[in-house]
Amino acid sequence: MGEKGSEIEILIGGKAGEGINRAGQVIAEILSEMGYYIFMIFDHPSLIKGGHNYSIIRASEHPVGGIKRKPDIVLALDKNTIKLHEAELSPHTVVIFNSDKVKNAEGIGIPAVSIVDSAGGVPIMINSCLIGAFCKTAGLEWSDVEQILLDKFPVRSALNLDIARKGYDISEVKFQLIRAGENRAKLITGSESLGLGLCYGGIEGYIAYPMSPASGILHFLSSKKDEFNLKVFQPEGEIAAILMAEGMACCGCRAAVGTSGGGFCLMNEGISYSGLAEIPIVIINSQRQSPSTGAPTYTAQSDLPYAISAGHGEFPRIVISPGNAEQAFMWSAKAPGLAWKYQVPVIILTDVTLNDSLYSLSPETVINEDYDYGYKEVDEGPYLRYRFTGDGISPLGFFNGNSGPVKINGKTHDESGISTENPRILEKLAEKRIRKASIIKRDMEGEKCVLRSGNSNSGTTVVSWGSNGPLCSELCSRLKIRSVQPIVLHPFPEKQFETAISESSKIIVVEDNSTGQLSELMKSYGFFSDNRILNYSGRQISLETLEKRLMEVI
């Protein structure tokens, strides 16, 4: 019998429609209650039924940023799970399988179908049986998990608990998982964290057309709209979504939209409209693998230059890419304030890994900041919506405000908003946008735009962005090398980045794309990488694989 006092990794797999994700969440919640930090991914094709779905739950005494893909325990609802993950199993991996479906397998066989049928349950309760078996295999006392399981089975709780107990009794103790401490955090998906952050940052409306992996934000906020006093709409498409949000902003209502790459494409004219009409808006672009429809449920970091340059014409914007639930909350809370202060689009780049994964988040680490930046209000005298000012930022009045007539115009215009093609005014409009961009770049240097972790004295520096940031931070801390994660990617925080990589003898950039998009962005500012580790499998790179590839280039 082994002892796993510091961490454990569990894989649970089966067909789509068998409740794999929820079963993984229940296991994650049990381990969270025992004081462990959690990171859980859910891997699934874009199918409603069939195929192969699996969740991997990593629980550790220390914060985690990724998975190892070397599970200690596998819960197999079907034979396919064992076959497809055979290469990931070690001699120490314990396989718990549904012996009514899986024959001739090595491990702990649980007749889950028979147990559920004899108890008068339904097929989805097979998960409850295997979760109970997991608790026994991990060495958890029934008295420690009984109430937790009861709380996690909101429907037919007593029956689910009875079935879980039967699975527990049949299983065997293989590990002795010890309590890591008091429950430190709440479990939350990246999508939920983004939604909560937006609400904390003061949005009053969220408008989106469902598009994976951003759909989770829409589902979450629609379920909480009354609690947050939030207007949530699903219009006929992405073009309508961004125009509705901009219309709300013109009436003084902070709004955000969410989509993935294809929907972001459709929003381009609306983004340009925001740039010229100076309408504040927050746009979440949750990146998916490949161009076009691509692989909707698999991850990538392939929209960076597009987000920086989306929309025609020249105008300022802010592009942010958080890496985990904590960063997602903080920066999505900052985003509405930044959009309104500067009257620009703020684009939040996420990906499948961030949106769909489950994280431990301690509320006290994110809710004590003030995320309201304020905005330039209308002063006395005749109101000019596009007044030329020293910093390029005009006073912000609304259709339903008290500033008198408000003329908002997506055509070139004078200070009052009247259309014009006068060459001198066109020049002044362009210069106004240039001044605003300069002010944004200056002010953003006052934010913590770049995170540094690991060994700050190391000559080797690993640079990453988005969901790879926490993964690289964890590995670099263990390897005693430096990790640098720029969160704000435009305007690029040159001073902070230069300080973060100072005295580096080797710079390695890790990205989930095939062209080195961050590396190319760095190059445009005079920062050159020595090596690139590019992953474009649609899955977040594992800690073991990343370590191996790092060792090849260090």
pLDDT tens per residue across span 63-75: 999 999 899 999 9
Quick one: average pLDDT of 385-396? 96
Note the pLDDT tens digit of each residue in 255-279. Answer: 999 999 999 999 999 999 999 999 9
Domains of the chain: 7-170 (3.40.920.10), 188-365 (3.40.50.970), 376-444 (no CATH), 450-553 (3.40.50.920)
Q: Which two tokens stand for residue 222?
A: 């629609």
Note the pLDDT tens digit of each residue in 338-368. Answer: 999 999 999 999 999 999 999 999 988 888 7
* CA–CA distances in Å: residue 1 to residues 33, 136, 305: 23, 12, 51
Contact call for residues 407 and 385 (beta carbons, < 8 A): yes
Quick one: average pLDDT of 310-327? 97
Contact call for residues 502 and 456 (beta carbons, < 8 A): no
CB atoms within 10 A of CB 80: 17
Q: What is the pLDDT of residue 402?
A: 85
Q: What is the pLDDT of residue 155?
A: 81
3-state SS string for 111-139: CHHHHHHHHCCCHHHHHHHHHHHHHHHCC
**Spatial CA neighbour of 166 closest among 221, 120, 119, 97:** 119
Percentage of residues of the chain with pLDDT beyond 70: 99
Q: Does the structure show a pLDDT above 80 at 50?
A: no
Given pLDDT bands bounded at 50, 70 and 90, which one contains residue 1? very low
Q: Does the structure show a pLDDT above 70 at 4?
A: no
Given pLDDT bands bounded at 50, 70 and 90, which one contains residue 546? very high
Note the pLDDT tens digit of each residue in 507-523. Answer: 999 999 999 999 999 99
β strands within 7-137, DSSP E: 7-16, 37-43, 50-60, 73-76, 94-98, 108-110
Q: Which two tokens stand for residue 252?
A: 């003084």
Higher pLDDT, 455 or 45: 455
Q: Does the structure show a pLDDT above 50 at 453?
A: yes
Q: Does the structure show a pLDDT above 50 at 17?
A: yes
One-letter amino acid of 161 = L
Segment among 315-324, 400-409, 535-544 with least mean pLDDT: 400-409
Looking at residue 295, the DSSP 8-state letter turns out to be B
End-to-end CA distance of the chain: 37
Given pLDDT bands bounded at 50, 70 and 90, which one contains residue 234? very high
Q: Does the structure show a pLDDT above 60 at 3?
A: no
Separation of alpha carbons 39 and 27, rounded Å: 12
Q: Which residues, 6+ apart, have CB-to-CB distance to 231 below 8 Å?
A: 204, 205, 206, 225, 248, 253
Separation of alpha carbons 86 and 72, rounded Å: 13
Given pLDDT bands bounded at 50, 70 and 90, which one contains residue 5? low
Alpha helices in 310-411 (DSSP H): 325-342, 352-356
CB atoms within 10 A of CB 538: 17
pTM of the model: 0.95
Alpha helices in 90-189 (DSSP H): 112-119, 126-137, 142-152, 157-170
Quick one: average pLDDT of 467-485? 97
Q: Does the structure show a pLDDT above 70 at 105?
A: yes
**Spatial CA neighbour of 451 closest among 511, 499, 414, 411:** 499
Q: Does the structure show a pLDDT above 50 at 189?
A: yes
- Give SS3 for 26: helix
**Mean pLDDT, the chain, integer:** 94
Q: Which residues, 6+ apart, have CB-to-CB distance to 355 below 8 Å?
A: 189, 190, 191, 194, 213, 214, 216, 217, 286
Q: Does the structure show a pLDDT above 80 at 48?
A: no
Higher pLDDT, 159 or 380: 159
Token pair 């890419």: residue: 321
**Spatial CA neighbour of 474 closest among 460, 501, 454:** 454
β strands within 293-387, DSSP E: 318-320, 345-351, 358-361
Note the pLDDT tens digit of each residue in 110-124. Answer: 999 999 999 999 999
